[in-house]
């Protein structure tokens, strides 16, 4: 049984609750255990994963970044993805479930386990990468 750490940037509670529900359901359906930690924002997600790298088998990054009126969206979306990708290239099994969307309606469809279930997809991606890590590691 793998130990998966869910790292969530909780800003939109109702959207994060949906992402978490899908993530947890997918991990539990696969027979693995999980814990959840919350960080201030999407930019802190890669740092938290790096800090916990030696304590868990895999990771799921969750959060919602909605485009606003300033350039901040591009920085947060790009840099959080870059940080997660760098950790993945270093050999960590990570599923990226940080939604980067234009509006809340898009986020709701993607977060809802009954619709696009991006939390569940991120969990499945982390588990698939974990399998590859074990196969090639």
Q: How many residues make up the chain in this entry? A: 137
Q: What is the pLDDT of residues 97-137, one digit of tens each?
A: 999 999 999 999 999 999 999 999 999 999 999 999 999 97
Q: What is the pLDDT of residues 16-62, one digit of tens each?
A: 999 999 999 999 999 999 999 999 999 999 999 999 999 999 999 99
Task: Write the DSSP assignment of 65-100 as a string of letters.
Answer: EE--SSTHHHHHHHHHHHHHHHHHHTT--EEEEEEE
Domain ranges of the chain: 3-124
Catalytic residue among 14, 32, 34, 72: 72
CATH of domain 3-124: 3.40.50.960
Q: Which residues are annotated as a binding site?
A: 11, 42-44, 64-66, 69-70, 96, 110
Q: Which residues are annotated as a binding site for (2S)-2-hydroxy-3-oxobutyl phosphate?
A: 69-70, 110
Give me the residue label for tokens 């750490």.
Answer: 5
* pTM to 2 decimal places: 0.97
Q: How confident is the model at residue 84 (pLDDT cuts 50, 70, 90)?
A: very high
Q: What are residue 14's phi and psi, to 5 degrees? A: -65, -35
**Residue 72: active-site member:** yes
Angle at 5 between CA 24 and CA 28, to 5 degrees: 30
pLDDT at 69: 86
């Amino acid at each position: 049984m793998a130990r998966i750490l869910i790292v969530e940037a909780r800003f939109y509670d109702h959207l994060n609750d949906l992402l978490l529900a899908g993530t947890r359901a997918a991990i539990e359906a696969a027979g693995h255990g999980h814990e959840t930690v919350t960080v201030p924002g999407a930019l802190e997600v890669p740092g938290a994963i790096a800090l916990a790298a030696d304590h868990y088998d895999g990771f799921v990054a969750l959060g919602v970044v909605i485009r606003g009126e300033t350039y901040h969206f591009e920085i947060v979306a790009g840099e959080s993805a870059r940080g997660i990708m760098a950790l993945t290239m270093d050999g960590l099994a990570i599923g990226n479930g940080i939604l980067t969307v234009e509006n809340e309606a898009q986020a709701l469809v993607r977060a809802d386990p009954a619709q696009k279930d991006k939390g569940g997809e991120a969990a499945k991606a982390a588990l698939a990468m974990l399998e590859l890590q074990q196969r090639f590691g």
